[in-house]
Amino acid sequence: MVFERVDLSVSDIRLTCTERHYQTRAFDCTSKVTVANAGPADAVHTLTTVTFGAPADCTVTPDTGQQQAHVLNAGTSATFTRAWAVACTEDRRHLLSTTAVITADEPHPEDTNRANDVRSIRWVPADVKPRSFPSSINAKKEGLIPVAILSTAEFDAVAEVDRTSLTFGATGLEQSFVRCGSPGEDVDDDGRADLVCQFDTAKTGLTCGMTTATLMDRTVDGRRFEGQDDSKLTGC
């Protein structure tokens, strides 16, 4: 049998969730996955399995991994989404996660780099302008936007967040970071210290009409995470 060399990968994965407050009603999450074929083999049949992780008090539908097939030519990529319905019984904020794994769905290709076949991201609750609701930001008057990364039973934001790599704004990739407060403060009164950081409004790419802001970062041990919150831009 002749093996064709190929490098399939999960080149990006994002996770957005609509959990915003303490609530026991259901919310939704969406995994957005990009898979790629770096070649040299062409027209490779691939199968990507996307899974979702939630704390034990949550019920997730569907409750098994979701699969997506693609035929990927060399040098091409494909992006797709998968939705999850989540219902949790404990009245608190939650740490959620998603993972994607790509494999060749035919016998001949031999992947030359297996390390990039799997990629994960976690979702942590973020609070734009903590202690104010709704999170209105006057783009003309407010030079800095405070954003809290909330600690949960599963995540200690003060200890785990890498404070050198935070990005925040319209897409989550904006280089708007200014500083984080130290020590942490408990902005949602759940007894756990949260991390409050400041971002330069002008660099966030947030403009009037946008309703959601995204924060992205990694933990001190290198694991990626993101979070969203509703925010209302005024004054622009």
Residue 181: what are its φ and ψ, rounded to 5°? -70, 150
Instruction: Please state, in angstroms and rounded to a whole number, the distance separating the CA atoms of residues 156 and 97.
Output: 15
Please pick, from the candidates 67, 79, 113, 132, the single residue that binds Ca ion as defined by CB under 5 A: 113
Residue 190, interface with Ca ion (CB under 5 A)?
yes
Start-to-end CA distance of the chain, whole Å, equals: 64
Please report where in the chains the tokens 């040098």 appear, as a residue.
Answer: 75
Task: Tell me the window of 41-49, 114-122, 127-135, 167-175 that interacts with Ca ion (CB under 5 A).
Answer: 114-122
Under rule CB under 5 A, which residues in 6-35 are in contact with Ca ion? 7-9
* Least distance from Ca ion to the Cβ atom of residue 113, Å: 4
Judged by beta carbon, residue 8 or residue 100, the one nearer Ca ion is 8
Q: How many residues does the chain have?
A: 236
One-letter amino acid at 125 equals: P
* Least distance from Ca ion to the Cβ atom of residue 11, Å: 10
What CA–CA distances, in Å, run from 83 to 23, 31, 33, 122?
A: 20, 6, 11, 15
Residue 116, interface with Ca ion (CB under 5 A)?
yes
Residue 188, interface with Ca ion (CB under 5 A)?
yes
Residues near Ca ion (CB under 5 A) are: 7-9, 111, 113, 116-117, 186, 188, 190, 192, 194
